Chains A and B, each alone.
Chain A
Amino acid sequence: MTAANSVKPLHIVLTKRYRFAASHRLHNPAFSEDENWRVYGKCNNPYGHGHNYTVEVSVSGPVDPGTGMVTHLGELDGFVEREVLEVFDHRNLNEEVPAFRGRVPTTENLCIEIYNRLRAFPSAHVERIRVEETGLNSFEYAGGA
């Protein structure tokens, strides 16, 4: 290790990917039927539809010299399981998740909701959340406006 390296602490971010499956319908009761269809297209189908979502949780912090870890993975897994997977997996987001009463469950809003649920993780700083709605669409949120 060079002297330059030793005085320059590195920024380490660990990311773990999780998966859940859920259904939703994009619909705003404040819009007319036509407007809903124009804005949301087939996502406005009255019976809803589903996705296999992938959630990337990125956390940062100092590396514990005893364990070599930013956070114990079991702790992160347990927290994500409780706060996200148990809440969303195999659920209808509109009907079964209180956060989406009165809020359209787009993946933008889902991403913000997941960030808000995970930001209190006690062992490391939650840097950002990335949600893939399909392999072709993804959304990221790191807090703030």
Chain B
Amino acid sequence: MVYLTRKIEFSASHLYHNPAFSAEENRRIFGKCNNPHGHGHNYVLEVTVAGEPDPATGMVLDLKELKDVLQREIIERMDHRFLNYEVPELAGQIPTCENIATAIWKLLEPRIMKGSLHRVRLYETPDLFVDCYGQSPNGRGAR
């Protein structure tokens, strides 16, 4: 098995607010991420596809195809957007790194035609990132 990773960047704004919580609770739980006007990040996304190289092409999948999928599904949907208001996949959710990575997994997983999606790693900052894996048989996702 070979693991191929493609990296992209997008910039977006968001805020954390749960309408089921009081204003004080929102402030206490989410801190400055609850600022009503939002704030932004330069997100870095690493998408890892696992597979066997095709004997004829030597490729797990055509990187150009992966690039196009990432452009269409992620960049066009999320880059320079306000995630809470402009990305339907995140509607009704707190757009944390966990939830964005999960939404990205669900967008990409059915569109990887060769090999299989192994990991989505989303950096909110260089010091904070989330990895999303499909469930592994032991219930704990492979590394």
Contacts and interface: CB of A to CB of B under 8 A. Distances in A.
Nearest to B141: A11
Interface of B: 16, 18, 20-21, 29-31, 93-99, 101-102, 105-106, 109-110, 126-136, 140-141, 143
A8 interface: yes
Contacts of B131: 12-15, 58
A57 B129 CA distance: 11
A68 B16 contact: yes
Given A66-B18, A74-B31, A14 B98 contact: yes
A66 B106 contact: no
Contacts of A12: 98, 101-102, 130-132
A77 B108 CA distance: 32
B18 A13 contact: no
A68 B93 contact: yes
Given A11-B133, A13-B132, A68-B96, 5 more contacts: A10-B141, A11-B140, A15-B129, A67-B29, A68-B94
B6 to A, nearest CB: 20
Given A5-B109, A63-B98, A17 B133 contact: no
